[in-house]
Amino acid sequence: MSNHSVPQLQLALDHTRLDAALDAAERLHEYVDIVEAGTILCFSAGVEAVRQLRQLLPEKTLVADFKVADAGSTLAELAFGAGASWMTVICAAPLATFASAHEVAQRYQGEIQIELFGNWSMEDARNWRGLGLKQAIYHRGRDAQAQGQSWSQQDLDAMKALSDLGFGLSVTGGITPQELPQFKEIDVRAFIVGRALTDSANGVATAAEFHQAINHIWGK
C-alpha cells in the first residue's frame, strides 16, 4: 500500500451516438466518481452532450473533453455554460489560450485540465502552474496504443515530476485493472477509463475490478 491518496475512477464516454453515451452513463455512473463527455462524443453531438449529461447527472463532476487548442474563452463559455465542471485544453495550446479558458473556468467555479500528449516540457508545466492551473492528464493516445506504445519509465518519471510541481494528475489511455500496479509509486488523482468500461460485457463488474485494484494498491 502507498502513502498517496486513493485515485478516483473517471468514466470516459467516447460514443459516436449521444443516446448510447446516455445509456452507458445511466448504467455506470453510480460506480464511478467522475463522468466525461469524451472528445469523440463532443465531436459527434457537440455541446449538447455536456448539457444532456448534466441534466441526467445533476450532482456529478462532469468533464467536457474538448481538447481546446484556441479560442479558450469562447469554448470554455460553451463547456461551463452547458454544465461542465472541468474542461480540457491541449498542451500545444498557447499560454494565452490557457489563460483565457482558466479565467472563464474560475467564473463558473470550474477547472481546466491540461491534456498532455506528444511534445511539452517541464518549462511549459511551470508556466501552467504559474497561471494557477492545478490539473494535468497524462495521456497515451489510442492510436499510439494501437501501434504498441506502452508506459515507460520515462512516462512514470514525468508523472512524478508533475506531481512534485503540484499538479493533480489523471492518467488515461487504454487503462485496464491489470495495468494499475505499474503506477503504484505515482500520486494519481484519477484514472480515466473509456473502452474497458463501456465495451465490457459487464461494465459494473469491470468498475468493481478497478475499485478493488485501486484499493489494494493505494488504499489505507
Catalytic entry in 25, 75, 105, 136: 75
Binding span for ligand 5RP by CB under 6 A among 21-29, 96-104, 191-199, 212-220: 191-199
- The distance of closest approach from Cβ of residue 172 to ligand 5RP in the complex, given in angstroms and rounded to an integer, is 4
Output the CA torsion sign for 111, 102, 119, 47: positive
Going by their DSSP bridges, the two strands 111-116 and 135-139 should be labelled as parallel
Catalytic entry in 29, 142, 160, 184: 142
What SS3 state is found at 181? helix
Does position 160 bind ligand 5RP by CB under 6 A? no
Does position 175 bind ligand 5RP by CB under 6 A? yes
Among residues 9, 11, 12, 159, the one that binds ligand 5RP under rule CB under 6 A: 12
Does position 149 bind ligand 5RP by CB under 6 A? no
- The distance of closest approach from Cβ of residue 128 to ligand 5RP in the complex, given in angstroms and rounded to an integer, is 18
Q: CA–CA separation, 65 vs 50, rounded Å?
A: 10
199: which 3 cell numbers? 465495451
Q: CA–CA separation, 88 vs 113, rounded Å?
A: 5
Does position 25 bind ligand 5RP by CB under 6 A? no
Q: Which is nearer to ligand 5RP, 101 or 192 (CB)?
A: 192
Catalytic entry in 36, 115, 155, 187: 115
Answer yes or no: 211 catalytic: no
Side chain identity at residue 194, one-letter code: G
Q: CA–CA separation, 172 vs 195, rounded Å?
A: 11
Grid cell 452513463 — which residue?
25
What angle do the packed helices 72-81 and 95-107 form, to 10 degrees?
30
Q: CA–CA separation, 203 vs 152, rounded Å?
A: 28
Q: How many CB atoms lie within 10 A of CB 219?
A: 12
Touching ligand 5RP, residues 51-80 (CB under 6 A): 65
Binding span for ligand 5RP by CB under 6 A among 155-163, 172-180, 181-189, 200-208: 172-180
141: which 3 cell numbers? 493516445
Q: CA–CA separation, 94 vs 77, rounded Å?
A: 18
Answer yes or no: 70 catalytic: yes
Does position 193 bind ligand 5RP by CB under 6 A? yes
Binding span for ligand 5RP by CB under 6 A among 49-57, 69-77, 119-127, 169-177: 169-177
Query: In the complex, which residues of this chain contact ligand 5RP (CB under 6 A)?
Result: 12, 14, 38-39, 65, 142, 172-175, 192-196
Active site residues: 39-40, 67, 70-71, 75, 115, 139, 142
